[in-house]
Amino acid sequence: MFVAAHEWTSAREPAARAALPSNLAQAPQPDRTRQLYGRLAAGAVDQAARADADAFLRLALSRAQAEDCDLPESPQDLAAWMHHSAQLACAKYRAYLQERKAGAPRRYFQNRAHALYFLRAVAPTKLVDGAWLSGLLAHWQNPRFADLITTYAEELGEGRADKNHVVLYRKLLAAHGLGQAGDLPDDFYTQGALQLALGLNATDFLPEVIGFNLGYEQLPLHLLITAYELNELGIDPYYFTLHITVDNADNGHAQRAVQAVQDALPRLGGSAGFWRRVRNGSKLSNAGTGTTQVIAGFDLDCEVTAIFARKSASGLGAHSDYCRVAGRSVNDWLAQPDHIPGFLAALQQAGWIKRGAPAQESRFWKLLQGEKAEMFGVFNPYELQLIHDWLRGDASADGQAYDAPALLAGQRQATYRARARLSQQQAGSLNVFDASQDEVLDPDLQTLQAELAATGDRTQKMQLLIQAMSPWNHWTPAGLYATRQFLRMGA
């Protein structure tokens, strides 16, 4: 069904809708975005959550109107704009590579801890990758949304665990002990919350969804540099390199995003109002704390202090009174989180911590790692890497992992790809995907298969599959199975 042009500029214009709920119309309250993100990411989508997501979007869009728009004035110029943007990013990347070849240091990550901090900080966005398009699955019969639905299916890896973006990122977090970050600054959840809210309200925000997709699927310079430097630090860059390939300007998501705009533009009447909303929606792809801002905000001293402050609550009372530093018991030091900076300084003065030296030279480090380490297990792998790099200081630029053998003077950290090639040669090539995953033991998968078998109606089958392909389900065995079935049924 076509929507007349005047409808896109009046009744459906976000600014013309009902006033924002008072709890969201004011300045954002502490943790408001994180709470909304948590509800939507967990699939707790009741009427109240939908209303809050709608209001959150309208508030974000009203703020975005004052921002500059990178898109051309006319949708007819989109293809040229896209190719120019991709060429500019690639040219800047070539210049970056020349700088590195000439001896320049890494531009983004000081050390391995910095890179892991980044992976953890952007997790709220990466763990809902593609969510903004999820609401269009219900309209799979409309050929005008074919490119958008194809993009969503590819974000889901077309049902393959080794290509599903969220599965890949969850594995990346788990590989480095990063867990599910729930204590990040509120603004770090903005981008993920917007993506979930767009997917949940796709019917009312169709132009904004299309505009967001257009802005988000372009190839950014920071993606290229991130992948390069993660590999250099021995961290698997595949999640990021996969986005580089699928977002290409020839036949990838960037090109499809342009085509999706052309397909969706109203044909009955004018399209100016629709295009205006597409442009405004594209600005949301830059909302929240961006990649380079996250990276620039890293402060190793602050992060280490924060770790000890968090641990102080559980460590308080666990030390004997004879454990004393600078004349005070450890329990006394841990009694107040604001005592932690002084505690760390006292440990250095007492010789327990040696900054700027190999970690193994610090007596404190030997309490954490090594034979009969008395504090083994107190800190997770991410926290150990932070402490390790904090102890080593400038030498940590070599990217050494906290649990790896010490590098010799002048020795370089092996890149992730080099280690992966060696491992593959030794173990043989492995195919992560196995068709037998259709029979994996999983209660949701069993339920879905039983419900599909119980109905012969194609529409009902599609509805069941679409539910399982939601942002909070698609990475599970049931969601992966549903994605494969969705594609097999010709959607």
In one-letter notation, the amino acid at residue 462 is: M
Q: Looking at the domain assignment, is residue 473 inside a domain?
A: yes
Q: How far apart are CA 491 and CA 139, in angstroms?
A: 10
Instruction: Report the number of distinct structural domains present in the chain.
Output: 3
Looking at residue 408, its pLDDT comes to: 57
Q: Looking at the domain assignment, is residue 435 inside a domain?
A: no
**286 and 307 belong to one structural domain:** no
Q: Which of 246, 271, 296 is the last residue of a domain?
A: 296
Q: Looking at the domain assignment, is residue 277 inside a domain?
A: yes
**172 and 291 belong to one structural domain:** yes
**77 and 157 belong to one structural domain:** yes
**128 and 255 belong to one structural domain:** yes
**129 and 70 belong to one structural domain:** yes
User: From the CB of residue 105, how many other CB atoms can be counted at a distance below 10 Å?
Assistant: 9
Length reported for the chain:
491
Q: Looking at the domain assignment, is residue 164 inside a domain?
A: yes
**44 and 186 belong to one structural domain:** yes
β-pair partners for 325 = 328
**288 and 306 belong to one structural domain:** no
Nearest to 217 by CA among 167, 256, 169, 266: 256
In one-letter notation, the amino acid at residue 113 is: A
In one-letter notation, the amino acid at residue 132 is: W
Nearest to 468 by CA among 490, 432, 442: 442
Domain encompassing residue 447? 442-488
**119 and 250 belong to one structural domain:** yes
Q: Is 360 exposed, middle or buried (0-12, 13-18, 19+ CB in 10 A)?
A: middle
**115 and 249 belong to one structural domain:** yes
Q: How far apart are CA 374 and CA 1, in angstroms?
A: 69
Q: How far apart are CA 172 and CA 175, in angstroms?
A: 5
In one-letter notation, the amino acid at residue 451 is: E
412 CB-side CA count, 13 A: 8
139 to 13, 50, 145, 158, 220: CA distances (angstroms): 21, 19, 8, 18, 30
Which helix (H) or strand (E) segment holds residue 329: the answer is: strand 328-329
Nearest to 57 by CA among 204, 269, 230, 186: 204
User: From the CB of residue 118, how many other CB atoms can be counted at a distance below 10 Å?
Assistant: 21
**267 and 205 belong to one structural domain:** yes
In one-letter notation, the amino acid at residue 331 is: N
**105 and 77 belong to one structural domain:** yes
Q: Looking at the domain assignment, is residue 479 inside a domain?
A: yes
Q: Looking at the domain assignment, is residue 328 inside a domain?
A: yes
State whether residue 209 is helix, strand or coil.
helix
Looking at residue 418, its pLDDT comes to: 65
Nearest to 172 by CA among 221, 122, 213: 122
Token output for 289:
């704390």
Q: How far apart are CA 162 and CA 164, in angstroms?
A: 6
- Taking only the tens of pLDDT, the chain with its 491 residues reads 333 333 454 334 444 343 334 344 444 465 799 999 999 999 989 999 999 999 999 999 999 998 999 999 999 999 999 999 999 999 999 999 999 999 999 999 999 999 999 999 999 999 999 999 999 999 999 999 999 999 999 999 999 999 999 999 999 999 999 976 678 999 999 999 999 999 999 999 999 999 999 999 999 999 999 999 999 999 999 999 998 877 565 668 889 999 999 999 998 877 899 999 999 999 999 999 999 999 999 999 999 999 888 877 665 545 555 567 776 777 777 777 778 888 899 889 988 999 999 999 999 998 898 777 777 788 899 999 999 999 999 999 999 999 887 665 556 667 777 666 656 655 554 444 444 566 788 999 999 999 999 999 999 999 999 999 999 999 999 999 999 999 999 75
Q: Which of 296, 329, 357 is the last residue of a domain?
A: 296
State whether residue 353 is helix, strand or coil.
coil
253 CB-side CA count, 13 A: 26
Looking at residue 331, its pLDDT comes to: 74
Q: Which of 269, 296, 323 is the last residue of a domain?
A: 296
Q: Looking at the domain assignment, is residue 428 inside a domain?
A: no
**199 and 130 belong to one structural domain:** yes
Q: Looking at the domain assignment, is residue 42 inside a domain?
A: yes
Which helix (H) or strand (E) segment holds residue 324: the answer is: strand 324-325
